[in-house]
Structure 1
């Protein structure tokens, strides 16, 4: 698994050459740490209770109360159904985390002949497109939002005809997207408007 510096290229990693471009997998440190802490706390509590029983002491009151309560409850009880629903939802969430890449902030780049896999962060793509748009004559300001499938560009033009600015922006940004070397170039959405009137 590779890590990436904010705003820059993702360090390359080795991957089999077969198949199309693949997304990068997230490390998911926070969910893994939370799950590990919960398992550790639960295991420690059960181990302490078992050791207490083996030492001749009574088991913890909460465990005896819980066992007695579960022994008399029916399967269609609201509390039992609610607990089962929470457990199923948690299990599905953990399965989804385990089976999906999750690292949506990195856009996969085209791979060459070697076994290397590289990507660009969305922030880097936005910076490149913003700089290229600001170089177009007539553009006063630009806002860029890059996603996995679409890059939305909103520009403000303070002179020149809007149609001419839009055409130049579209040409410049399409060239910029092509130069980024992305495996799945995002679809461009360009919007040009005049500055808002004050007062």
Structure 2
């Protein structure tokens, strides 16, 4: 006795050797296409898979308001360091060789015998002793100055927006930028820009317009140009305007 067939029940499907399916139901056997389930993973039709590093979502380190300082760049001082190292290496090597030679029952070098005799016989207030002491003091002060100052005066530090980024602007390039900005002011014939770390000295010549008007335009234009440089410590501005052939 056959069981009653549920019309809502899905027909039973068997796979044939040709890759098609056969559905058995009350209406007989009919071929139906087989739909294979895609394996777990990205859909090939969806295009190439994109990966995003987790580090790209991490915020960039920024400076706190009280840490927003622009220290100067420090020079490596390679030439003075190399000269001092070579002099010390040569002197110590020569002295060590002479000491070893004396320990091996050889006579000391003539220069060391002469130096010992001069130090024993020459008074301390003699000209040679005072000149040598002054030279040693000058060299020591020079080395201390190099060690205590950053150097690289031609590089102006710029504002730091991120803790891991430092930028500097060449002083000559900054002066050229300001000179080009000043030449765009109406009435300016020539401009000389002298720029230091703390001051911008501008001397311009105007062949027409009132000098006060030209000076006012230069003040505004150059002040905007200094802000546009993005320097960490903006220098002060000094503008002098005169007629050609006259001192302002």
Scaled by the length of structure 1, the TM-score of the pair is: 0.81
Q: Secondary structure at the match of 1:154?
A: strand
Structure 1 residue 179, shift from structure 2 partner: 0.9
Equivalent residue number for residue 20 of structure 1: 69
Is the Cα–Cα contact under 8 Å of residues 227 and 234 in structure 2 kept in the other structure?
A: yes
Equivalent residue pairs, number: 182
Is the Cα–Cα contact under 8 Å of residues 155 and 170 in structure 2 kept in the other structure?
A: yes
Equivalent residue number for residue 174 of structure 1: 223
Is the Cα–Cα contact under 8 Å of residues 69 and 160 in structure 2 kept in the other structure?
A: no
User: For structure 1, which runs of at least 5 residues remain unmatched after alignment?
Assistant: 1-15
Paired residue for 1:157, among 181, 184, 206?
A: 206
CA distance in 2, matches of 1:126, 1:22: 21
Equivalent residue number for residue 125 of structure 1: 174
Larger Rg: 2
CA distance in 2, matches of 1:19, 1:110: 8
Comparing both structures, which one devotes a greater share of its residues to helix?
A: 1
Structure 1 residue 19, shift from structure 2 partner: 6.5
**Structure with bigger RCO (C-alpha 8 Å, 6+ apart):** 1
Scaled by the length of structure 2, the TM-score of the pair is: 0.66
User: For structure 2, which runs of at least 5 residues remain unmatched after alignment?
Assistant: 1-62
CA distance in 1, matches of 2:113, 2:171: 53
Give the direction of change, closer, same or farther, for the CA distance of 1:74–1:196 in structure 2 (3 Å limit): closer
Give the direction of change, closer, same or farther, for the CA distance of 1:141–1:95 in structure 2 (3 Å limit): same
Structure 1 residue 74, shift from structure 2 partner: 4.5
Structure 1 residue 173, shift from structure 2 partner: 0.3
Q: Which runs of 4+ in 1 moved over 3 A?
A: 16-19, 72-82
